[in-house]
Amino acid sequence: MEVSGVGLPDEAPWKKMSAEELEHQYLPSRWVVRLGAEEALRTYSQIGIEATGRAQATWKSLLHVPYGDGGGEKMDIYFPNKAAEGASPFFLFFHGGYWQSGRGIYLCGHSAGAHLAAMMLLADWTKHGVTPNLKGFFLVSGVFDLEPMVYTSQNVALQLTLEDARRNSPQLKVAQVQSADTACPVLVVVGQFDSPEFHRQSWEFYQTLCQGGWKASFEKLRDVDHFEIIETLTQKDSVLTKMILKTVFQ
C-alpha cells in the first residue's frame, strides 16, 4: 500500500479523548470479538505455552540463553534440524506485554514488542563498532508513539515521564534517522479488530517510514483481534506466516 498525498494530522486524536476512552483504546483485551477479556488473555497465554512446547519437542534448541545481566534477560534459540548450505537467516521475535515481561537478521515484534523492534531502526550501530546484517522488520499491532501511554493505567508500572515517552517513540524519532539500507523491508501490520488507536499508530508510523525513504508496506489483516493476529504465527498457512516467510526467503 502506498501513501498518496495523505499527511499526518496536526494534532493526535488521542489528545481529545477522555481518560476513560484513552484507557479503553490501549487495553487490547477490551477489543476482542469472540471471547471475553479474561478468557482471551487465558487463551493467548495457553496458545503460547502449547506452541513453545511443540517447538521445543520438534526443533533443536538452546533455552534461557542470557543476553544481559538482568534476571529476565534471557531468550530461547531454535535451530533447523538439518543444516542448511551456507548461513541461515535469523528471525528474532519480541513478545508484547507493555514492556513488562545468520545470512540476515529479521526482527519481529508484537504490541510493545513491535515498539522494541522499531527502536532498532533508530540505533546508531557505528557507536558500537558493528554493522548488523538487518534484512527485514515485521511490526505487528505496535505502539510507536508512547506519549498516550503516560495517561493510561499502564504507566503505574512503567513510570514514564513525557520526556521518556518522547525520547523512546519511534514515530517521533525515525524521521531523523537515515536508513542504513533502503532496501530493507519494514512491514507494518494491524488486526481488523485492534482498537482505533492501534490502527492510527500503525498507519501513521507507516506513513512516516514512507516519507523517510524506507521500503515500508502496510497490511490490515481481516478477522483477527490484537491477540489472534500473533497467534496465527503458530499456523504455517496463515497470512502473516506466509508474508514473513516470503520476505525471509525471497
Catalytic position from the list 111, 169, 195, 202: 111
Answer whether residue 98 shows pLDDT above 70: no
Q: Which domains does the chain have, with CATH numbers?
A: 13-59+89-249 (3.40.50.1820)
Q: What mean pLDDT do residues 10-25 have?
A: 87
pTM over cut 0.85: no
Answer whether residue 95 shows pLDDT above 50: yes
Please give the pLDDT value at position 67: 79
Catalytic position from the list 169, 195, 202, 226: 226
Of the ranges 83-92, 124-133, 225-234, which is most confident?
Answer: 225-234
> Distance (Å, rounded) from C-alpha 33 to C-alpha 221?
15
Name the DSSP letter for residue 9: P
Tell me the pLDDT band of 39, cut-offs 50, 70 and 90.
confident
Active site residue 194: yes
Active site residue 18: no
Kindly report, residue by residue over 42-83, the tens digit of the pLDDT. Answer: 776 777 778 778 878 888 888 888 878 887 778 888 887 776
Nearest Cα neighbor of 58 from 227, 229, 234 is 234
Catalytic position from the list 141, 194, 195, 202: 194
Active site residue 238: no
